[in-house]
Structures are given as C-alpha cells and as structure tokens.
Amino acid sequence: MCGICGKLYFDGRDSERAGIEAMTDVMEHRGPDDRGVYIDGPLGLGHRRLSIIDLSSLGRQPMMNEDGNVAVVFNGEIYNYLDIRKDLRDAGHVFRSQSDTEVIVHAYEEYGTDFASRLNGMFAIAVWDRRKTELVVVRDRLGIKPVYYYMDGGFIAFASEIKSILEDPGVPREVDLQALSNFLTLHYVPGPRTMFRGIMKLQPGHMMTVSRGVARIRRYWEVRKDESVVNRMRKAGEQEVAEHVFSALRESVRKRMQSDVPVGALLSGGLDSSAILGLMTELSGRPVHSFTVGYSEAGDDSVSEFRYSRKAASHFNSSYHETVVTAERFLDCLPRAIWHQDEPIGEPASIPLYFVSRLAKENGVTVLLTGEGSDELFAGYNRHWGEVLSRYYMLMPGVLRDGVLNPLIRMLPRSPLLKKGHRSMSIRDFRERYMSWHTVFPDDLKREILRYDDSKSAFKDVFERLMPATEGLDDIDRILLLDLSVWLPDDLLMKKDKMGMAASVEARVPFLDYTFVELAFNIPAGLKVRRLVTKYILKRSMERLLPDEITYRKKEGFPTPISRWLRSELKDFTMDTLCSTGALGHGLFDKKVVKRLVEAHMSGREDHNRMIFPLLNFEVWHRLFLGMEASPRFNYL
C-alpha cells in the first residue's frame, strides 16, 4: 500500500523535481516508510512507500527495468505475483528483489498493456515507457485503489489523492456543479467526476494511455453473466453451490494473508467480517488480532455492535481490541477526515473507520482484512429484498393493493425504512425505483436548495452508461451490477482506502477477488434472496464456520447516533456552520432552505440528519480546499 503521483508535460517543458516532491510528500501518510522520485525529461514520478512485501531497499519505487527504459510506480498488492514471477523467469526475465512491483515491471516488458489483465489484486499503477514516450495508468478491476487525474493542453497530472494534484498552483480549485448535484442526491460523487471541476477519477477496470498530448481510455475488464456457468449453478444442488462459495472465499482470504508485516481483521460482528475472521483463524492456526469501533452510548445496542463483535471474537479466540468514539472525538476528527478523503463525506461512518484503523496501527497491525463487497455480490441491503417485494406488489390487483394493503401499511409506525420501502414498491420504472432507495435530497428539494436548475440530471450519465450491460438480467442482478460498479467504488471503497491510509494501514477485501466476484455474479438471483432472506447462499455456506446467532442476525449496517448528536453535542457546530451570519459564503445554497431544514431537525419535528450531515461536510470541505482557509500545504497530520 502506497501513494503514487506523477506529471507529464506536452509542451516541451521538463518536469521539476521540487514539484514532484511536493506532490509526493503531501501523501506521506500513505507511505511513511520511504519516498522515491524519478525524473525523465517531461515526465516525473513520485512514490510514498508503506512496506508490506519485501521490506528491504530492493523494493523501493519508482522501479526500473535493467536498461532503464521502463519505470513503474504502484499502489496496492498483487496476490498472484509469485505465479506471474515464475512465468516471467521461465521466459528469461531476471529478478533482483522479492517485491510484487518488480513483477509488474517485467510483466509490462513481456505483455505490453495487456499486463493488467494478468494481475489479481488491488492496484493503481503508472508505467512510463521511454522508448514510446508513453504513460500508462491503470486501476484495478473493482476500484479498490483510487487514482485521479487532471489534464489540460500543457500537461497531465495523476495521483492517489486529489490533494497531491492540487499541489500544482495551475490546477483550478472550483466546484463541479454537476458533481455537487450528484452528491446531494447520493451523498457521494459517482465517477468519473469529482467535486473538483476538471479533476477526474479513472474508473475501475480501466486503463489510460497518454502519448503526444492525447489520452485514450479503454475498459479492460467488466463483470458479465456467463450463461454456461449460470446453468451449471442452476443444475447444481444448493449445498454444492454453498460449498463452492466457501472454498472460493477461503482461497481469497488465504491470498490476502500474504504479508511481511502483521495482519488483522476489522470486525463488526456481522456475517461478513466474522466469516473473514473465522477463515483467517482457520488458515493461520492461531488467534488473529481483530479490531472494532463503537460509540459513547456503548450500552445501547442501537448504536454499538460490541455485543456481536465480542461474541465473534470469543468464538474464534481472537486477540480482540475495541475503541469508542464520543461526540467530542467525532467532531474533532471531522476536518481531518475530510482533508484525508479529498471530498465531502456524506455519511458519518467514515469517522469511526479512521479511529479503528488507528487502533490497529497502535497495536502493531499494518494490514486489515475487511468484509466490503459481500452485500453488493450477494444482495445484502434492504433495497434487494425490497425489489423482490415490489414484484409481488405490482402483481396484486389494483383494488386489493389500493383498498386493503396500502391502508394497512399506512397504519404501521412510519419508520424511515418502511416509508422508503413503501414508496419504492409503488414505482414501476426500474431506474426510478432504484434511485428511490439511494436518494438523499429529492429532486424538488434539491432544485429549491441549489441556486441553479438541475433538471434531474443526477446519476443519469452513470446509469445510462451502465444500462446496456444489464440488458437481459434479472432485476436483482441489475441492482447488484449498479451497486458493484458505482456505489461500491465511489463510496464504500473510497472511504475505506482513505481512512485506512490516514492511519497508514492497508485494507484488503477478500470478497472482491475478481475471480470470486465472477463466481458470485453468476449465482442465480433466487439463491441470493430467498423468502426475503438476503445473502441466503452466503449464509448457507458459512453455517459450518459461524454460530447461527451471527450468521442469521438482522443486518444493521453501521448505525451512528448522529441524529441525536446534531441536536445536542454537535448543535453549536451545526448552527455556526450552516446558519450563522457568515455561513454558506460560497453562494451555492439557498440559506433560507438550509435554515428551514436545520430548524425542523433541531425542534425534533423531523429527522433530517441524512441531509444536514452532507451539508456540514460540504461546508467544511469548501473551507479547507476552496475557501479562505485553503492552502496547497494544508495538513491535518
């Protein structure tokens, strides 16, 4: 795990070492163990190293081949590097280190730009080919590792973090208004945009080749249905599929335990993280370090999962560690977290991720295995069983639906989940139904709060780009593809990477081994949601490993007491940030609408925490990166 950056000039200028050093050093947290800079005429590469594999100086980057015509910087881990290394040695390549980076160098020599399709891992890689004067930048298939870029007529700059690109004073610091609109709708910014106008994300499974001032981007991988595999799954018995899932996940965990530094598990006490911990324990044959985080109301199970994480840790005799986040710690960390994340944080769960990563680091653990990706592969969210319910709802005769069912639903306590689920079930259009689960600011309110007409453009470009690949899929599989392609990399994986790296900790995600993803995506939807039981086949596969209390517990996500905190411990901060005389100085929001939302929440009449928290984060982000407090050398380390 590291940080990479670079710049390539098109207008005849030579790259300057001081500029690359500045880009590199602002990401010191991503790699506190070493720094490397490479300059070759118009091209400059920078690297920060967090030593995981081959801790010796031979693993330093940027790394060149023998004749110096290929240079590589790399962030991530290649789990099949030993197999590729053997093939390359058989082909005549000579190695001088034990690092996976050197495998990339020789793989590019041997296979050209097809090298990426041979890698199994998480990665953001830049390759400079001196002979071709060509820069190649590639991102892993699922988007586990980030890479951003900015390009104008004179140069292209890229980096693992946006703040590195902003070290160049020539890069504008302006809000991308479409990205802001998307953020208000989704509480994150879907790629390829970022909140900075002109700074883009290289999408998962894509490669960018830059030569003679022209950038060409192509997709080298996408998950697809293989009908022959699907048919085999349908013919196989349920138990056989469950066994296949278990053995494939076990192998993925085994690969991700490769390390020359201590490895632990991020534990919530849910199915996914408990399964990872159990498999790690089984594979290692000894207790594994596990880490969890909760809130100050630790005795209240609605805001803390300690009860379940302790049970899982005890079941596997884990060396278990906890940390507690109070409102005071939460507020103190917020600007730091936003700075590390480069963009506004739409949900409060990002903050605890930082604290639990720091807890691991304080206990000598540099690598954490986590459970991200399971819900997007096996249908673990409310929207997945909601999609199943919507089928039955639409099949009901209108008289029965409108005359009996709807009145009964309206008589039930109006929880936010029930309200959203009922509204979603009644929407016939798939796109609108999918968006109803994700939307934070409804379109009418968003048009009211923004000082420009959005005309329902949020998410449209992303959805239309993905939709051709979902033709012929079951609606559950269509949702999973969208979740896997957008929600997962642009929200969950982004904050996991940034918050882990803020503490110099590497997060690895066994559920997102691309071979496991291809297997899971081809499992029939009926084995993922059965009789409204989500992740059905995964739960069946883990029955041998986990107690039923954990396997079949109700999914709770990562609940936070933010709604109450906004009315109490965070009230002064909220009012000052959003409603004071000097607030909202950027002029992008209508102050009256913001004040109305805040006052309604403070009074207890309505719960607007899901709208207020993104607004708070945008305000802090704007001050740090674009306002009077912004500085290219701003640092919360």
Residues carrying an active site annotation = 5
Question: Closest Cα partner for 561 from 381, 325, 382?
Answer: 325
List C-alpha distances in Å: 269 to 170, 251, 272, 322, 532. Answer: 47, 22, 8, 12, 22
Tokens at 536, concatenated: 């059905």
3-state helix, strand, coil in the chain (%, to 5): 50, 15, 35
Dump the DSSP string for 213-271.
TEEEEEE-------HHHHHHHHHS-HHHHHHHHHHHHHHHHHHHT--SS-EEEE--SSH
Query: How are beta strands 367-369 and 506-508 bridged, if at all?
Result: parallel
DSSP structural state of residue 8: E
Are 122 and 75 within 8 A, CB to CB?
A: no
Give Dmax (Cα) for the chain. 78
Strand partners, 49: 2, 34
Cα–Cα distance for residue pair 315/422, rounded to 1 Å: 39
Burial label, 604 (beta-carbon count in 10 A; 0-12, 13-18, 19+): exposed
| Three-state SS at 71 | strand
Question: How far is it, in rounded angstroms, from Cα 454 to Cα 439?
Answer: 15
Tokens representing 340 are: 């590390």
Structure tokens at 288: 């594994």
CB atoms within 10 A of CB 82: 12
Closest CA to 143 of 509, 592, 562: 509
CA–centroid distance for 396 within its chain: 38
Of the candidates 272, 334, 327, 296, the residue with the CA atom closest to the CA atom of residue 502? 334
Q: Strand ranges (DSSP E) for 79-167?
A: 121-129, 134-139, 148-151, 155-159
Whether the CB-CB separation of 145 and 139 falls below 8 Å is answered with yes
CA distances to 91, 232, 400 from 268, rounded to whole Å, are 45, 34, 42
List, in sequence order, every residue forming a beta bridge with 136; answer none if it has no partner. 127, 209
Q: What is the dihedral of CA 166, 170, 176, 180, to 10 degrees?
A: 30
Q: Which of 64, 55, 208, 193 is nearest to 125 (CA)?
A: 208
Tell me phi and psi for residue 111, to 5 degrees: -115, -5
Taking the C-alpha atoms of residue 349 and residue 76, their distance in angstroms, rounded to an integer, is 24
**471 SS3 class:** coil
Q: Which pair of structure tokens corresponds to residue 59?
A: 């693993």
Strand ranges of the sheet holding 214-219, from the earlier edge strand across to the other edge: 63-64, 70-78, 121-129, 134-139, 206-211, 214-219
The residues near 265 (Cβ < 8 Å, ≥ 6 apart) are 273, 276, 277, 280, 288, 289, 290, 291, 318, 368, 369, 370
- State the Cα–Cα distance between residues 400 and 423, nearest whole angstrom: 17
Q: What are the residues facing 217 on neighbouring strands?
A: 208
Helix, strand, or coil (residue 169)? coil
